[in-house]
């Protein structure tokens, strides 16, 4: 056993195994889940807002949860985590079990938004209070530094709820939610790897493996499955957990390799779901509707309206998100408020760039759009901006 503990203390070996185990589990589980869902007719029916035209198996989140939970439990024992990290892991697994049951019920029978919100609050507080995983500092944004305990708890709860629901809202195209989560988890995982944060390395890389296994079927034209609310809430919670861990840890270290302002980098990593959520909420409120009412005003809907495919739209979002992350890294030595202003201005411009190209050239390069009449360009831009 001593040899195994030494072996798993090697981060390169641990990271490789953490990706491979859930990936293999997904490859074995998803054909079974797809068959069971089809045989029981637990399918997602296409509706007015649906981006698919045929019945498609849902409950892909169940496979993600099983692959993640089994892998993290086994590897957590092999690594020999400290007691504080074990408490964090136990709180994380308990909270995700709650969200998984909630999501499955919502996928199968539907659930009132208030009930979903209350369970999200309880699951988040379980991690924030039991595991003491909190955002403890603003690192100088607008002159704010360390936060009092109760303000820290309330603000961290707000961040958890924002990320969970923002991620849930972007689950609208084949591969989009899974690919964005893959990039986010890889970005956070790289930071944790450099700083030898074993628990968070496990969480990030196990999630990467599970997402790779899911995307294999989510992007398949023949054996497709959706993650559903069970998957989107589960993954959103894990990304929120990583983001808060990233923010809380970075505020207490001073490492030249990762010397960055964590709030700016976290905003860059999660830029797409945050921007899309704020944008659709603003449009709905301006139209005197509930911010939680459904519509087709998401950025990914507008990309499809330009005539590109699901995979092209997903690729565009992931590439733009990665460019924003690189930008945040390049400007890390600037004063934090200057970084904030740059990011706030550039994030919308980057994601709106397809419409700027259409206006300038009449078409998008590198893709095959449907013909666009010049007379409709102004109305398209006005509709996108709300």
pLDDT at site 55: 67
Q: Which residue has the higher pLDDT, 261 or 193?
A: 193
299 confidence band (pLDDT: 50, 70, 90) = confident
pLDDT at site 196: 87
Q: Which residue has the higher pLDDT, 58 or 258?
A: 58
Q: Which residue has the higher pLDDT, 51 or 316?
A: 316
pLDDT at site 44: 63
Backbone angles phi, psi at 294, to 5 degrees: -85, 145
pLDDT at site 259: 59
Q: Which residue has the tokens 């087709």?
A: 296
What is each CA distance from 238 to 46, 90, 294, 372, in whole angstroms? 28, 13, 25, 40
Exposed (0-12), middle (13-18) or buried (19+): which is 361, by Cβ within 10 Å?
A: exposed
Asked whether residue 229 carries a pLDDT value surpassing 90, the answer given is: no
366 confidence band (pLDDT: 50, 70, 90) = very low
65 confidence band (pLDDT: 50, 70, 90) = very high
Question: Taking a C-beta distance cutoff of 8 angstroms, is the pair 297, 280 a contact?
Answer: yes
Tokens of 327: 């930008």
pLDDT at site 374: 42
pLDDT at site 135: 92
β-bridge pairing 43-44 and 56-57: antiparallel
Q: What is the mean pLDDT of residues 45-55?
A: 55
Exposed (0-12), middle (13-18) or buried (19+): which is 129, by Cβ within 10 Å?
A: middle
**% of the chain at pLDDT higher than 90:** 44
Asked whether residue 242 carries a pLDDT value surpassing 90, the answer given is: yes
pLDDT at site 256: 44
Q: Which residue has the tokens 């490789």?
A: 16
CA atoms of 127 and 321, how far apart (whole Å): 28
364 confidence band (pLDDT: 50, 70, 90) = very low
């Amino acid at each position: 056993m001593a040899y195994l503990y030494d072996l798993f203390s090697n981060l390169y070996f641990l990271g490789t195994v953490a990706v491979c185990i859930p990936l293999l589990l997904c490859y074995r589980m998803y054909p079974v889940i797809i068959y069971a869902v089809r045989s029981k007719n637990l399918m997602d029916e296409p509706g007015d807002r649906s981006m698919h035209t045929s019945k498609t198996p849902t409950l892909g989140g169940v496979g993600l949860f099983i692959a993640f939970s089994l892998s993290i439990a086994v590897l957590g024992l092999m690594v020999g985590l400290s007691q504080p990290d074990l408490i964090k892991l136990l709180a994380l697994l308990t909270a995700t079990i709650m969200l998984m049951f909630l999501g499955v019920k919502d996928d199968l029978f539907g659930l009132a938004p208030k009930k979903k919100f209350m369970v999200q609050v309880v699951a988040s507080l379980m991690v924030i209070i039991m595991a003491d995983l909190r955002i403890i500092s603003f690192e100088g944004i607008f002159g704010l530094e360390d936060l009092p305990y109760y303000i820290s708890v309330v603000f961290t709860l707000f961040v958890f709820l924002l990320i969970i629901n923002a991620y849930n809202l972007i689950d609208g195209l084949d591969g989009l939610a899974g690919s964005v989560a893959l990039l986010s988890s890889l970005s956070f995982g790289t930071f944790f790897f450099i700083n030898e944060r074993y628990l968070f390395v496990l969480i990030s890389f196990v999630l990467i493996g599970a997402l790779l296994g899911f995307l294999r079927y989510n992007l398949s034209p023949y054996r497709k499955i959706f993650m559903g609310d069970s998957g989107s809430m589960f993954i959103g919670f894990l990304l929120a957990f990583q983001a808060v861990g990233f923010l809380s840890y970075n505020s207490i270290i001073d490492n030249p390799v990762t010397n960055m302002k964590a709030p700016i980098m976290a905003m860059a990593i999660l830029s797409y779901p945050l921007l899309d959520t704020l944008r659709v909420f603003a449009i709905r409120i301006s139209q005197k509707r509930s911010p939680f009412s459904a519509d087709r005003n998401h950025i990914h809907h507008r990309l499809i309206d330009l005539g590109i495919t699901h995979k092209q739209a997903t690729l565009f979002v992931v590439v733009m998100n990665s460019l924003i992350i690189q930008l945040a890294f390049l400007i890390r030595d600037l004063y934090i408020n200057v970084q904030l202003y740059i990011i706030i201005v550039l994030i919308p411009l980057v994601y709106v760039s397809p419409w700027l190209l259409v206006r300038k050239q009449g078409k998008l390069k590198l893709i095959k759009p449907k013909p666009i009449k010049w007379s409709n360009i102004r109305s398209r831009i006005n509709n996108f901006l709300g």
